[in-house]
A and B are shown apart, each in its own frame.
Chain A
């Protein structure tokens, strides 16, 4: 635990695998920049690993003022205990007021361990982060400029705003795709601060025997157009129509969790709270009911078309265009209309 430190920096944990930075960390640089500017403090990135000098420079391009680098042979592969040690040492030394992590497999393994070691608060899977004052209802004490950690809870049925006013740093995780990626600016440079950490055998209790990380086959986040099929599509064969419509639009097919669970399409394509959060120019939801966990992952799309044969389906409440009808009749008409325009 560190004391409340109003001059503390805003930090982002810069997650990397084999020297490649995670998208979610770069996305966090964008919001981190805004928070730091509001608080009038510096934005720092914390980077641990082996041979990570390129990644350190990269963080500057995305807006870091400072990059704290711990480059160490023993940090070549992520391990909970060694990385926790490095981060806790840096927090103790520099006393940041905010620390953000991607809610990735690594972030969700690391952040709680750091929070426990530091006895600091941590809010998982925030969908928004803001700075605002807080007045304690009982004592009327005002805490200025706290990090408002906003997240869905209760299966998405409520939105909670969490704060942490006494035991700092204020820490939160954010899922990939939730924050917009800032522009890369090759003219921006961060101050690189090299830090030492002494890693012992005790800090490396795991022996990593084998690792198989497949590249994601699709990049939903980069797609301008996404055509998502839900359980209403009815079969894997019928799902071909989803691929066809995505194809003529130069887009990518997506799936609801129900469609993924039914085996219509791969998990890589899942949109929503437990899939990918997307914000394409055009999102077409076909046979998707519009459950809150699905909507959470697509409601920021610029244009949303919903196609559903149930006029009361909740998906229509987030749509800009609604087509009530059987998709088997609607989709061929759409494909025809799009082909006709060329």
Chain B
């Protein structure tokens, strides 16, 4: 049998690219200066979905919730072989914590027909929370398999190997199911240049309008299979009390920037004498003995 997969992908600031350019004068991080990237483990999730499609047939849909600029990661998905891209964007979804985000994403998945598998990354590098996957699974009423490294499908049965710290576990369940995928699961394929040439023209309606496009331009994209679907909370028939701020039990009280400042430390000369003295001092204060 063939399988319909949905991959939840997130656009995140590249927290690894905290270089001089992204620092404010006071030593804090200028978040706006960080490049936006495809959340790394979501690429592993996408790769796993594409491998299922290659082996068994079916479809792969990439789905994201974010600002219209998040269409970038959806295009990245199309470049790699996804069949369909959906952007969920709505002002009323702003300030959603993981609970509200997972509710909105689960409403979107329910709008997609005949979903067999939902893939997530293990965690997103902006917060490293690893919560949206399990929470979306609960909202969908799907079993969840977290930390997936390998996957086999046989009819409606899925067998997965999960990495659990110092070991692994092999588990089985019936579809539909939600999986979160580890970065060690596979090597994500790069974009295919032929698909890149074609899908770089893909856009969502808001993007089209923002660049002066008309409704006719949107229709023309749709006719050519280049329109990124854009859904708002009304389309999802989401209950607004569970979205955005009101749907988010966690609130940020304070944010402090980490500033690495030089502390007082004792300089030791890298000579025999210097080091002998250091060891002596450590013995004196019973650090070593």
Residues of A at under 8 Å CB distance from B? 1, 80-81, 84, 104-105, 108-109, 111-113, 115-117, 119-125, 134, 148-149, 152-167, 205-216, 225, 249, 268, 281-282, 292, 302-303, 305-306, 314, 316-326, 329-330, 333-334, 336-338, 340-341
Question: Within 8 Å CB of A155, what residues of B?
Answer: 15-16, 18, 125-126, 128
Q: Label chain A's interface by main secondary structure.
A: mixed
Question: Within 8 Å CB of B234, what residues of A?
Answer: none
B265 touches A213 (CB 8 A): no
A225 to B97: give the CA distance in the assembly, Å: 40
Q: Which of B140-161 contact A (CB under 8 A)?
A: 143-147, 159
B135 touches A116 (CB 8 A): yes
19 additional contacts, CB 8 Å, given A154-B127, A216-B166?
A1-B249, A105-B165, A112-B133, A113-B135, A120-B249, A121-B249, A122-B131, A124-B129, A154-B13, A154-B29, A154-B126, A155-B15, A156-B15, A157-B258, A205-B173, A209-B170, A282-B282, A292-B258, A317-B260
Q: Which of A116, A156, A208, A213 is within 8 Å of B167, CB to CB?
A: A213
- Is B192 positioned at the interface, with any CB of A under 8 Å from its CB? no
Question: Within 8 Å CB of B159, what residues of A?
Answer: 209
Question: Within 8 Å CB of A334, what residues of B?
Answer: 275, 279
A81 to B145: give the CA distance in the assembly, Å: 11
Q: How far is the CB of B19 from chain A (nearest CB, A)?
A: 12
- Is B257 positioned at the interface, with any CB of A under 8 Å from its CB? yes
Smallest CB gap from B263: residue in A? A317
A319 to B147: give the CA distance in the assembly, Å: 36
A1 to B135: give the CA distance in the assembly, Å: 14
A154-B15, A318-B263 in contact; A109/B258 too (CB < 8 A)?
no
A86 to B288: give the CA distance in the assembly, Å: 48
Question: Within 8 Å CB of B251, what residues of A?
Answer: 162-165
Q: Choose the segment among B54-62, B109-117, B199-207, B266-274 that binds chain A (4+ C-beta atoms closer than 8 Å).
A: B266-274
Q: Which of B215-234 contact A (CB under 8 A)?
A: none
A156-B258, A213-B167, A333-B275 in contact; A282/B131 too (CB < 8 A)?
no
Nearest 6 pairs between A and B by C-beta?
Answer: A155-B15, A325-B270, A121-B249, A213-B167, A116-B138, A205-B143
